[in-house]
């Protein structure tokens, strides 16, 4: 049914830390690998090793340059379906292939019902749905619905493939509808935000902002509390420690 549920019991989603993400594309690769054999398999590529490769991916990692001068920085930005609470991508679907689950809020496409009209991809504000030309149906992030409840997997693997793969721990998975969950607390603590919040689709996934820069160029004498804490070295007690202490001072000059 393409009418949206009025209420979902849980709001499963991702929290993505833009401060820690190093843009390695590991999550996207892991996603592709899992999902080409997963819920809506295959996730095909056309001419993958040729000059003009093309294919459906459910997760794309952008890299932006933000700001100018000393405060400028590179921000790596993974982008996938945000499992919005009130998205038009579901309601525009003429066949009922697109739906949002009442039990956990996951937005899915049923590959057996989809006619490949692409209207849902037009309705998504985030470019999160990609048409698979060789399968003739729409593909999107499933939040690894076939992993997170999968009792054949070890408990630590019952999490989305992207979260499991991220080498820097920049991706977190959990129930954003429960204010006591670890992800909700993380969002509150770090000031997590919505993409295009004013647009009105109410994304469930949240992004954590990059922290402000902390180094000699941005920290001045009149802001001592912001200065990186120098590790205090205890007064030397033995000759060998005196020697090291001298080496440390010499090297610090």
Partner 1 sequence: MHPAYSVILFTTASGAGYGLLVWLALLSATGVLPADRWLGFTGLAISLGLISVGLLASTFHLGHPERAWRAFSQWRSSWLSREGVAAVATYIPAGIFGIGWVFLERTDGIFAILGLLSAALAVVTVYCTGMIYASLRTIRQWNQPLVPWIYIALALATGAVLMLALIHVFGMESPWFSLLTAVLVGIALFLKQRYWSTIDTEKKTWTIGDATGLGKHGQVRVLDLPHTQANFIMREMGYAVARNHAEKLRGYVRLLAFLVPGALCLITIAPSALLATPAALLAVIAAGVGVAVERWLFFAEAEHVSMLYYGRPAA
Per partner kind, with CB cut-offs from 5 to 8 A, the member of partner 1, ligand SF4, none near residue 188 is: none
Nearer to partner 1, 106 or 114 (CB): 114
Closest approach of partner 1 to the CB of residue 112, in Å: 9
- The per-residue DSSP string of 197-211 comes to GGGS---S-EEEPPP
Residue of 24, 41, 102, 119 interacting with partner 1 (CB under 8 A): 119
- The residue assigned the tokens 């990186």 is 228
- Please tell me the distance from the alpha carbon of residue 185 to that of residue 7, in angstroms, as a whole number: 22
Does 124 engage in binding with ligand SF4 (CB under 6 A)?
yes
Nearer to partner 1, 56 or 161 (CB): 56
Cα–Cα–Cα angle for 227, 230, 235, rounded to 5 degrees: 150
Per partner kind, with CB cut-offs from 5 to 8 A, the member of ligand SF4, partner 1, none near residue 225 is: none
CA 175 from centre of chain: 14
Nearer to ligand SF4, 92 or 153 (CB): 92
Per partner kind, with CB cut-offs from 5 to 8 A, the member of ligand SF4, partner 1, none near residue 62 is: partner 1
Per partner kind, with CB cut-offs from 5 to 8 A, the member of partner 1, ligand SF4, none near residue 171 is: none
- The residue assigned the tokens 């729409």 is 138
169 and 19 Cβ atoms separated by less than 8 Å: no
Applying CB under 8 A, the span of 131-139, 157-165, 170-178, 181-189 interacting with partner 1 comes to: 131-139
Sign of CA dihedral 240, 241, 244, 246: negative
- Please tell me the distance from the alpha carbon of residue 186 to that of residue 180, in angstroms, as a whole number: 10
Beta bridge partner(s), residue 77: 62
Q: Where on the chain is the footprint of ligand SF4 (CB under 6 A)? A: 81-84, 87, 89, 92-93, 95, 97-98, 107, 109, 114-120, 124-126, 128-129, 138, 140, 201
């Amino acid at each position: 049914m393409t009418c949206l549920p009025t209420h979902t019991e849980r709001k499963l989603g991702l929290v993505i830390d833009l401060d820690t993400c190093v843009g390695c594309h590991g999550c996207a690769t892991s996603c592709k690998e899992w999902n080409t054999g997963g819920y809506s398999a295959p996730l095909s590529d056309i001419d993958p090793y040729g000059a003009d490769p093309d294919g459906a991916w459910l997760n794309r990692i952008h890299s932006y340059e933000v700001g100018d001068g000393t405060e400028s920085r590179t921000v790596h930005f993974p982008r996938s379906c945000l499992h919005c609470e009130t998205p038009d991508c579901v309601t525009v679907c003429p066949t009922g292939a697109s739906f949002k689950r009442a039990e956990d809020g996951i937005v899915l496409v049923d590959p057996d019902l989809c006619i490949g009209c692409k209207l849902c991809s037009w309705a998504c504000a985030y470019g999160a749905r990609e048409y698979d030309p060789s399968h003739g149906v729409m593909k999107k992030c499933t939040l690894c619905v076939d992993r997170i409840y999968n009792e054949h997997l070890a408990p630590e693997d019952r999490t989305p493939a992207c979260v499991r793969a991220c080498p820097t721990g920049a991706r977190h998975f959990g129930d954003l509808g429960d204010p006591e969950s670890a992800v909700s607390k993380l969002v509150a603590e770090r000031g997590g935000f919505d993409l295009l919040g004013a647009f009105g689709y109410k994304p469930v996934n949240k992004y954590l902002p990059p922290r402000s820069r902390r180094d000699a160029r941005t920290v001045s004498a009149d802001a001592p509390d912001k200065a990186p804490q120098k590790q205090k070295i205890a007064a030397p007690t033995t000759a060998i420690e005196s020697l090291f202490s001298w080496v440390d001072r010499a090297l610090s000059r």
